[in-house]
Structure 1
């Protein structure tokens, strides 16, 4: 086999069996064992994929993984927004947006510091700074866009992707662990953690995940409406975004911003679903199982993002890029926690804001769900999706500034 792995990249059915099967096992572990509940099924899914990839059981790239990015992730977003009501969410999202933007400043600061410390050791580091600034404010979409904007060579892009994925996995461990550390509980207020623990006391013998995801009544009609409406929303959103992106001119900051916002299918998708959930709450709010289906799709996504983290490639080609990414992530965390304390934000809001910066809206929403912070799921998903828009501007700005320094 040319790929050098037990399962070849074109063996799509087997790879899909692994993606969905390991996602299911991760959920089962999370709901049945306290140690797994503390780590969260999302991290178990990510680490399991990393192990399989590094043992050369599965390939690090395959069409099946692209299908997850193209179809699974977009479908998960509307399913998780069916109980959204824009009138209620605005108050909650406003706080999250502020700390998210503060966290983004930490990303930019980290890019500056990392560049000046390592620019003499890594060629074209300004291109990496642009890619990682876009990615650590928006997501993978922004990484690809900024890489293309600065014509980054393929080998540099691959090494940066590997460093990014490995560090992201390690950082998620840190974010998951922080709520359990006494020092952070003393320094910051944590109402959502307290609420989850109070509920947990009423379900002795169950993990928090098992208590939250208890068995619910669901009908064939619920499944049909959840799937059918989600596919429709994603399809319509894609067409609207494509149309608006083609008719809105570019050439200056204002028109570029409008084109980036209104031509972004994720932002259109989020907006459309919110409007439907707000003005037709009796229909969308009563579709049972939508949140469960959306969450399972997110777990499949977590399996996929663990795959490219090839440890041998990191060791051979990316050690300094890993250091650079580490500096950016540490600055992001320090700025978030410092200013979050000054402005009296909740610990949960700060952790999710940092997660949304580094990993994107889906990883932040998955963490909120896994931890039982249900009131923060929709706000962080909305704010993180906005990051897809502003990430390109931050990334391109960073690359242009550092290129001349």
Structure 2
């Protein structure tokens, strides 16, 4: 490991950076319009990317492992407390359709990329599974699928680099699209048109307006955190139990391997149990204030961490074709989303947010909706995007098993 100013075992200093830079990213997004346009998620990622490439912070450390292993599992249920399936369908049915269309675009892109590059990139079937989950449910699914398919560490690092660089580039593309005359000419833009007719007068950014102060009690914090811990513990125990009971391995048939991969996986079980709980006990979870705020802050810490391994020299040295692979995925997602979105008369704003939710998850999509001032789409894309945590993991698992069995 290369020498860095901050040592890997300097846990408190690294946590000070992770938690502090996440807070700074949120502050900048809510304080300055330029930062709101970039989004706090990208600022969080870029900060760690720059420091790791300048050899100030290490690319691997126990503190980062804690984020992957403990912080992310706690963030997932907090963000899914509002994922009442009935509510999502009733309030966001239209957004759900374009989101699912966009998800199909990801699968098409992954399959085409795999066919084109399988002879040139080792372990591409495993990476394809990871990227399917990543580009349907966002980066949260990436770690679960990497662990599930036992992808070699060096390929995981290179895939993270390619994934992060492409996501950053893609988010900037999506931010720029509404300003291009071609898209304004050929697609409906009702929310942009309305903003241009009635520009906001407030000085604060849309992010600050959306994340305004709420009445949050000690009981809210206690129930939010306590529920998250209980859901993680129950889900992981159930997943471990099913993993032991259901046979798997090279000499076991495809069905049992698939079943083990679906209900014996920690993250799939966690998202499924949480969504069931949020749907069945919706009154309890609807009355909890602060779950979205706490979950989003934890995910911002995760955004800081996923920027750490994004070493450009590492990408060039180990797996430059991975960048081509994720580029094909993005193009597949973009083309399917825009072609069928146009065919089914979706607005440009809906298509952009659906594609964003696929690539970066509900938090980045909601952040973009907030930053752009598309306030009517914030809740629908946040609700629909949370399904990506489930769909992405299941789709990634299915894609990995399919490619391993076919090739």
Which interval holds the TM-score relative to the shorter structure? 0.7 to 0.9
Report the Cα distance in structure 2 between the residues aligned to 1:260 and 1:33, rounded to whole angstroms. Answer: 44
Tell me which moved more, 84-93 or 124-133: 124-133
Say if 1:106 and 1:325 are closer, same or farther in 2 by CA, change over 3 A.
same
382, 386, 396: which is aligned to 2:387? Answer: 382
The separation in 1 between residues aligned to 2:25 and 2:211, in whole angstroms, is: 14
Structure 1's 274 and 304: CA in aligned 2 closer, same or farther, altered over 3 A?
same
Work out the CA distance in 2 between the residues paired with 1:124 and 1:280. 42
Secondary structure class of the residue paired with 1:163:
helix
1:395 corresponds to 2:400: yes
1:220 matched to 2:222? The reply is no
Structure 2 residue matching 1:378: 3-state secondary structure: helix
State the alpha-carbon separation in 1 of the partners of residues 198 and 282 from structure 2: 27
User: Retained in 2: the 8 A contact 1:142–1:392?
Assistant: no
**Partner deviation per Cα, 1:127-176 (whole Å, 9 max, x = no partner):** 6556545644563146525753xxx6554443333222222222222233
Post-superposition shift, 1:370?
A: 5.8
When residues 95 and 254 of structure 1 are mapped into structure 2, their CA distance, relative to the original with a 3 A threshold, is farther
1:6 partnered with 2:5: yes
Separation in 2 of the partners of 1:262 and 1:178?
Answer: 39
Deviates more, 1:384-393 or 1:369-378: 369-378
Unpaired segments ≥5 residues, structure 2: none
Q: Which runs of 5+ in 1 are unaligned?
A: none
* Partner Cα separation in structure 2 for residue 196 and residue 253 of structure 1: 52
* Shift in Å, 1:259: 3.4
Paired residues of 1:97 and 1:383 also in contact (CA < 8 A): no
Conserved? CA contact 2:82–2:286, under 8 Å: yes
Matched, 1:61 2:60: yes
Q: TM-score, normalised by structure 1?
A: 0.84
**Larger deviation: 163-172 or 139-148?**
139-148
Shift of 1:279: 4.1
Question: Which stretch has the larger CA shift, 303-312 or 353-362?
Answer: 353-362
**CA pair 383-16 structure 1, distance change in 2 beyond 3 A:** same
Structure 1 residue matching 2:161: 3-state secondary structure: helix
Aligned length, in residue pairs:
397
- Superposition pairs of residues 29-178 of structure 1, within 5 angstroms: 29-91=28-90, 95-96=94-95, 98-111=97-110, 113-114=112-113, 129=128, 132-133=131-132, 135-137=134-136, 139-141=141-143, 143-144=145-146, 148=150, 154-178=153-177
Check if 1:265 corresponds to 2:270. Answer: no
CA pair 95-209 structure 1, distance change in 2 beyond 3 A = same
3-state SS of 1:57 partner = coil
Aligned equivalent of 1:238, options 226, 236, 239: 236
| Paired residue secondary structure (1:9) | coil
**Contact (CA 8 Å) 2:126, 2:146: kept in 1 or not?**
no
- Cα distance in structure 2, aligned partners of 1:381 and 1:58: 32
In 2: Cα distance, 1:204 partner to 1:386 partner: 38
TM-score, normalised with respect to structure 2: 0.83
Tell me which moved more, 172-181 or 217-226. Answer: 172-181
Residue 253 of structure 1: how far off its partner (Å):
4.9
Residues 285-320 of structure 1, C-alpha deviation per residue, up to 9 Å, x if partnerless?
Answer: 222222211111111111111111101222333333
Moved more, 309-318 or 181-190: 181-190
Q: 1:111 to 1:389 in 2, by over 3 A?
A: closer
Q: CA, structure 1 residues 278+120, in 2 after alignment: closer, same or farther (shift >3 Å)?
A: closer
Question: Is the alpha carbon distance of 1:165 and 1:95 closer, same or farther for their aligned partners in structure 2, counting shifts above 3 Å?
Answer: same
Contact 2:49 2:311 in 1 (8 A): yes
C-alpha displacement at 1:34, in angstroms?
0.8
Contact 2:353 / 2:365 at 8 angstroms: preserved in 1? yes
| 8 Å CA contact retained: 1:31, 1:37 | yes
1:272 partner SS: helix
**Displacement of 1:6 after TM fit?**
0.8
2:286 is matched with 285
Q: Distance in 1 between matches of 2:197 and 2:272?
A: 34
Structure 1 counterpart SS, 2:204: coil
